Structure 1
Amino acid sequence: MYNLKIYFKKPKSMKHLMSSKLLIAFVMVLCWNSVKASDFITVDGFKYYVDTTKGEATILANDYEGDIVIPSVVVFEDKDYAVTTIGKNAFKNCNIQSVILGKNISTLEEGSFMGASLRKVSFPSQLINIGKGCFKGCQSLLEVTMGDGITTIPASCFEECVNLNKINLPPSITEIGYQAFMECRNLNEIILPNSVVKVGKGCFFNCSKIQKLSISSSLMEIPGGFVNGCSSLSEISIPNSVVKIGGCAFANTPIKKIDIPQSVSLMANQVFANCNKLVEILCHAVIPPAVYDTGYSIPIFDSFENINSCVLFVPKESVDSYKNDKQWRNFLVVKSLDGGTEEQKSCSIPSISYIFGTLSFESSTPGAEYHYTINDSDVATDKYNTDGKVQLNGKLDISVYATADGYKASDKATATLYWLNAEGGDDTNNINLVKTRGVMVTTDSDITISGLNDGEVITFFSVNGVNLGSAKAVQGVLHFAKPNESIVIAKIKGNDLKIAIK
């Protein structure tokens, strides 16, 4: 389209007026010739846009049906024009069963065959450009043969081609776009040639019959949702070129084993979400792969319910790194890749407390069960002495460890429960009462005494009578730093407790 503005001065004479009219006529001829540089024609049922300056023609949308043979040239005004392009939406939703592309076709524009009834397509070698959504929704399409001129499969190109079961990807392909094969539910195998360097998100989303997928050795990033929902996928191989794995990349698949190469350093959220059959992960990275920001504060292994039973294999020297990493530490079973012994998490060591007359154990491990022993040194059966006097210690030695499914038994926790004389009093019959109370002593990290009265002050001494200091109970519990002594004496309202320091 040309915008041409012509300005004339008022003619000074009849001669000038005639000259102006001739000039206007000449300009109109020029403009008409410019318009005629392209034209719209219909030949043999095909509607064309003819670009006379380039000598090319584009097939436009029309009501097409049946078996289509695209000609190589179209004749317009006794001149041949190469048919090079299938225009945007040209065959959209048309009832066509097959198409043979002419030898001059180099471009299929956006949506050119979207929703058509095609069953089979073969691309000539000169075809180099395909628009996005080109074959989207072609639900009768069974087979696609690509020529080696194609370098990019654009976004949604074959999306929802639900019956497509065979497609060859030539070694010329370097990029596959966003959701290019999404919902192709009858594809059963895909081989990405080593020429592919980039793949868009959700490329094979919900391709429910894919059983095997081979990934290009040139690919550096596995995108988010890569094979999400591929419910038949049992095997996938990740090449050493990959450094990054996107969110939900393998989510909702039945893969049983996956090998993550040493090159992978970044993984996004929910990579293995709902992979309920995954029992082995082999991760060769010496440094545990980190989670990268995708805009969602969701861990790598969120919604991975098998994390308690899936075995994680890692380099021998990295076992502790994985066990302590905030993303990987939830795996209960870790083995070294060189076949070393299983490293299984232990239950957390239970704490022991005595409050309001109740002895309690608590471990932070879910489902923990407790195995305990209580020894009372005052208990005696069929003992013998000569003077008839027995010294009562008034204490119970307690030990406990925790177990849980999927965990090793914890180390033992120990404590001593002392029975102390409390402040006495008289009952209504003036019979003197001897009252006792129990206090619990542990010496794991410090000296901890529970079962005390709130605010009660305890003083500690060495066996030589040296005052080591005092501490006050808060909410019935007192903490006192362990001194450099093997035994200390705690004085509690007239009671002396002899405490052995671990």
Structure 2
Amino acid sequence: DLETVSLSPNSQLKTIMGNRSASYNTGGAFYCCKSLTSINIPASVEIIGYWAFDHCHALRTVTFQPNSRLKIMDGAFWVCESLTSIEIPAGIEILESTFVGCTSLKNVRFQANSQLRTIGAATFQSCPLETIDASNCSYITSIGAPNGNMDLKTVNLFILGTKTPPLCNFLWLNNNAALRVPQGCVNAYKNANGWKNFAYISE
């Protein structure tokens, strides 16, 4: 029946424990807390473990402090079906399969000065994403590749901050998807594999 978790901004908590078992349903710290609707993660946290919030079906709000520097492990937010948007601070590293099955997740935004270098093919698998705002990410080198195909058939707008087109591999792409890129980089994206398939590319 746990509905909310409030951790003090001055918390010294380092880890929200997970379980690295090959069987995800062994669960992590908040596995299957089906009434949990919100949690705020203090900046002290360095790791959110494997499957930590797996199957928290009612989880709608996950708030990170802006100066957070942490790693979110595989499956940490699997099947959080009520999560509609997520804002990811600059110092956060997300691994493959982090948000799989978040069937209401439509908007993803990365905050300023992001050091993110890779968005894995399965990071947002089965998420009906409409907007991915990675305009603050200037270091991304790979999206959905080389490990697999990224499904963007629901995305209407993808905003990128990298001047050099990242390596990418898109299996499905929305026919009306728009891509916004840094100033002076339109032609580079129009000639790059994967990116050139976007219907609209602009600065």
Tell me the equivalent position of 2:22: none
- The aligned amino acid for 1:287 is T
- Determine if the alignment matches structure 1 residue 284 to structure 2 residue 157: no
Which residue matches 2:57?
185
Q: Tell me which residue corresponds to 1:162.
A: 34
Q: 2:125 aligns with which of 232, 236, 251?
A: 251
Q: Structure 1 stretches of 5 or more lacking a match?
A: 1-139, 292-298, 338-502
Q: CA deviation at 1:316?
A: 4.1
Contact kept, 8 Å, 2:44 with 2:68, in 1: the verdict is yes
Offset at residue 209 of structure 1 (A) = 0.4
Change (3 A) 1:271 1:214: farther
TM-score by length of 1: 0.34
Distance 2:121 2:192 in 1: 19
Higher relative strand content: 1
Matched, 1:309 2:176: yes
Deviations 1:309-364 (A, max 9, x none): 201122342222222222322223222x2xxxxxxxxxxxxxxxxxxxxxxxxxxx
Q: Give 5+ residue unaligned stretches, structure 2.
A: 19-27
Say whether 1:171 aligns with 2:171.
no
Say whether the 8 Å CA contact 1:250–1:271 is kept in structure 2: no
List per-residue Cα deviations over 1:81-140 (Å, max 9, x = no partner): xxxxxxxxxxxxxxxxxxxxxxxxxxxxxxxxxxxxxxxxxxxxxxxxxxxxxxxxxxx3
**Cα 1:305–1:268, aligned 2, differ >3 Å: closer, same or farther?**
closer
Q: How far 1:143 moved relative to its partner?
A: 3.1
8 A Cα contact 1:204 1:226, kept in partner: yes
Corresponding residue for 1:199?
72
SS of alignment partner, residue 281 of structure 1:
strand
Higher relative contact order (CA 8 A, sep 6+): 2
Whether 1:323 aligns to 2:200 is no
- Relative distance call for 1:271 and 1:204 in structure 2 (3 A) is farther
**1:3-46 deviation digits (Å, cap 9, x = unpaired):** xxxxxxxxxxxxxxxxxxxxxxxxxxxxxxxxxxxxxxxxxxxx
Match of 2:89 among 213, 216, 240: 216
Question: What are the superposed Cα offsets for residues 41-100 of structure 1, whole Å, 9 maximum, x if unpaired?
Answer: xxxxxxxxxxxxxxxxxxxxxxxxxxxxxxxxxxxxxxxxxxxxxxxxxxxxxxxxxxxx
The equivalent of 1:50 in structure 2 is: none
Q: CA deviation at 1:218?
A: 1.1
Match of 2:23 in 1: none
Summarize the alignment of residues 120-139 of structure 1 with structure 2, pairs less than 5 Å apart: none
Q: Does residue 150 of structure 1 match 2:13?
A: yes
Q: Which residue identity is paired with 2:176?
A: S
The separation in 1 between residues aligned to 2:125 and 2:162, in whole angstroms, is 21
Shift of 1:214: 2.1
DSSP-derived class of the 1:329 partner: helix
> Conserved in 2, the CA contact under 8 Å of 1:185 and 1:209?
yes
In structure 2, relative to structure 1, the CA distance for the partners of 1:329 and 1:305 (3 Å cut) is closer
Q: 1:139-175 CA deviation, whole Å, 9 max, x = no partner? A: x333334462311112122122222123232232111
TM-score if structure 2 supplies the norm length?
0.80
Give the whole-Å Cα distance in 2 for the aligned partners of 1:205 and 1:255. Answer: 15
Amino-acid identity (%)? 28
Q: How much has 1:271 moved relative to structure 2?
A: 6.7
SS in 2 for 1:317: coil
- Kindly report the root-mean-square deviation, in angstroms, between the aligned alpha carbons of the 2 structures: 2.2
Query: Taking structure 1 as reference, are residues 211 and 157 closer, same or farther at Cα in structure 2, changes over 3 Å only?
Result: same
After superposition, the C-alpha distances for 1:356-400 in whole angstroms (9 at most, x for unaligned) are xxxxxxxxxxxxxxxxxxxxxxxxxxxxxxxxxxxxxxxxxxxxx
**Larger CA Rg, structure 1 vs 2:** 1
The answer as to whether partners of 1:176 and 1:203 remain within 8 angstroms in 2 is yes
